[in-house]
Amino acid sequence: MTDLEIAAYLDRGLQREKLDQFEEHLSQCAECRDNLIRTQEVVGRSRRSSRFMRSGAIILAAATVALVAIPSLRKWGPSDGTVMRGENGIAPLIAYAPLGEVSSNPVRFVWASTRDAMSYRITVSRDDGTEVWTSSSTDTTLTLPPNVALQNGSSYLWVVDAISADGTTRSTGNHQFGFAR
CA distances from 44 to 26, 39, 57, 102, 132 (A): 19, 8, 17, 24, 25
* pTM: predicted TM-score of the whole model, two decimal places: 0.55
Report pLDDT digits (tens) over 146-169: 899 888 888 999 999 998 888 888
Q: What is the pLDDT of residue 30?
A: 84
Tens-digit pLDDT profile for residues 68-82: 544 444 444 444 443
Least confident of 45-54, 59-68, 74-83, 86-95: 74-83
- For 39-52, the pLDDT digits (tens) are 877 766 655 555 55
123 and 159 in contact (C-beta within 8 Å)?
Answer: yes
Most confident of the following: 53-57, 60-64, 174-178? 174-178
Which residues, listed in sequence order, are joined to residue 176 by a DSSP beta bridge?
A: 157
Predicted local distance difference test score (pLDDT) of residue 87: 47
pLDDT in the model for residue 114:
83
Rounded CA gap, 64 and 87, in Å?
Answer: 23
Burial 25-39 (b: 16+ CB within 10 A, else e): ebeeeeebbeebbee
pLDDT higher than 90, residue 123? yes
Query: 136 and 59 in contact (C-beta within 8 Å)?
Result: yes
Q: Determine the pLDDT at residue 161.
A: 92
Average pLDDT across the chain, whole number: 76
User: Where do the domains of the chain lie?
Assistant: 3-179
Do the Cβ atoms of 160 and 120 come closer than 8 Å? yes
Q: What is the pLDDT of residues 8-51, one digit of tens each?
A: 887 788 888 888 888 888 888 888 888 888 887 776 665 555 55
Q: Does domain 3-179 have CATH number 1.10.3720.10?
A: no
